[in-house]
Amino acid sequence: MNFESKNIYFRYRLIDSLLRDYKTVKTSVIIDKLYERHDISVRKTTIQRDIRNMIKDLHAPIEYNNSVKAYFYPDNVEELFPAIDLQEEEINALKFYTNTLTHYKEIGIFKDFTSAIDKVVDAVKIQSSQYQTSERMPIQPENFPKFKGSELIPEIISGFDSNKKFNFEYQRHISAKVKNHIVTPILLKEFDHLWYLLAQIEEKEFITIFALDRISNFTLSSKDKKDEIDFDSEAYYNHVFGIAVPEGNVEDVVLEFDSWRGKYLFAAPIHKSQEFIKEENEKMTFKFKIIPFHELHAKILSYGKSVKVIEPESLKLKIKEMLQETLKNY
């Protein structure tokens, strides 16, 4: 099957959809929309042949207007394709999910995913009124600049299935030295809008975290990776806030928030161990089972005066020390 035949279903569906949405449709418009929606490039003769076949095989009542040199449907054309009916809320959910991925649109694999959602929407029975409903409310998710290293994500994901180790150079933020590493990949993780690779360095047993923006000269190694590593990401990050897994004991961290701030935690919990304790005197108290570390310190400081550390004492002293050091800058 050649490329043009392989995509015939999408072409037929698109032609039918455009003829229903517009009074007349030129061949050039069909070609442009096909590339825009499905990333499929075809010639004018392919579209002309498709229309002839739709008329012959699907009994599509397609007509041609010589004065405007465009195709059109007469009124009240019956459905040509068996279709799946999506409810309005299901279509809106698909559209919303597509929009929430826009800040990753420069990363190939996410672009492919949003394109796949568009293909699903195109392939099901959707009335014009439903399109209007899903487009009525503009959606603007928080947008972040494209970070260095984002281009590695498709390579890492596809390379994971190659059964090969990864080979790359890495420079830590606090060092001018560049080191070469051969690693067995374990997990790709996002935190605070940046991405990290968890891997096991060759001849090491512990797990190392590599920030993608510090990786260069990434290639697949000629060496096969280890047998499957026994790694449970949920358990590994069970009592961690952030990307690093520090040494130390899990502690009951108790934080007291101004009530207006605490209410946000019900909608967006800080950590999966979050537990609401009480509300009194315009204050809300929450408890977390977590290992206190740098990322947690930064998170607490980000709340400013609307939060107070109640327990443990060591964390309270650490935050107080950091605030005192901060004041020295002013």
**CA-wise closest residue to 187 among 216, 230, 142:** 230
Inside any domain, residue 43:
yes
Boundary (domain end) residue, out of 229, 263, 290: 229
Structure confidence at residue 126 (pLDDT)? 43
255, 290 contact by CB (below 8 A):
no
**CA-wise closest residue to 255 among 320, 298, 315, 295:** 315
Inside any domain, residue 31:
yes
Inside any domain, residue 152:
no
Structure confidence at residue 227 (pLDDT)? 67
Inside any domain, residue 151:
no
Assigned token pair, 144: 């972040």
Query: Position of tokens 């000269």?
Result: 217
CATH number of the domain to which 187 belongs: 2.30.30
Same domain, 225 and 189: yes
Same domain, 256 and 293: yes
User: Would you mind telling me the total number of residues written for the chain in this entry?
Assistant: 330
Structure confidence at residue 327 (pLDDT)? 92
Inside any domain, residue 173:
yes
Same domain, 246 and 321: yes
Considering only CA atoms, give the Rg of the chain: 28
Inside any domain, residue 161:
yes
Same domain, 33 and 63: yes
Same domain, 225 and 265: no
Residues of the chain with pLDDT under 50: 1-4, 125-135
Q: 15 lies in which domain range?
A: 3-72
What is this structure's pTM? 0.60
CATH number of the domain to which 16 belongs: 1.10.10.10
Boundary (domain end) residue, out of 174, 203, 229: 229
| Residue 158 to residue 56: CA distance in whole angstroms | 42
In eight-state DSSP terms, residue 125 is B
Q: DSSP of 130-187, one letter per residue?
A: HHHHHHHS-------PPPTTTTHHHHHHHHHTTTEEEEEEEE-TT-S-EEEEEEEEEE
Domain count, the chain: 4
In eight-state DSSP terms, residue 25 is B
Same domain, 201 and 221: yes
Inside any domain, residue 141:
no
* Residue 145 preceded by cis peptide, ω within 30: no
Same domain, 205 and 179: yes
Same domain, 122 and 184: no
Q: DSSP of 26-55, one letter per residue?
A: -HHHHHHHHHHHH-----HHHHHHHHHHHH
Inside any domain, residue 194:
yes
Q: DSSP of 179-211, one letter per residue?
A: EEEEEEEEEEEEETTEEEEEEEETT--S-EEEE
Boundary (domain end) residue, out of 229, 257, 280: 229
Same domain, 315 and 248: yes
Backbone φ, ψ for residue 238 (5° rounding): -60, -40
CATH number of the domain to which 254 belongs: 3.30.70
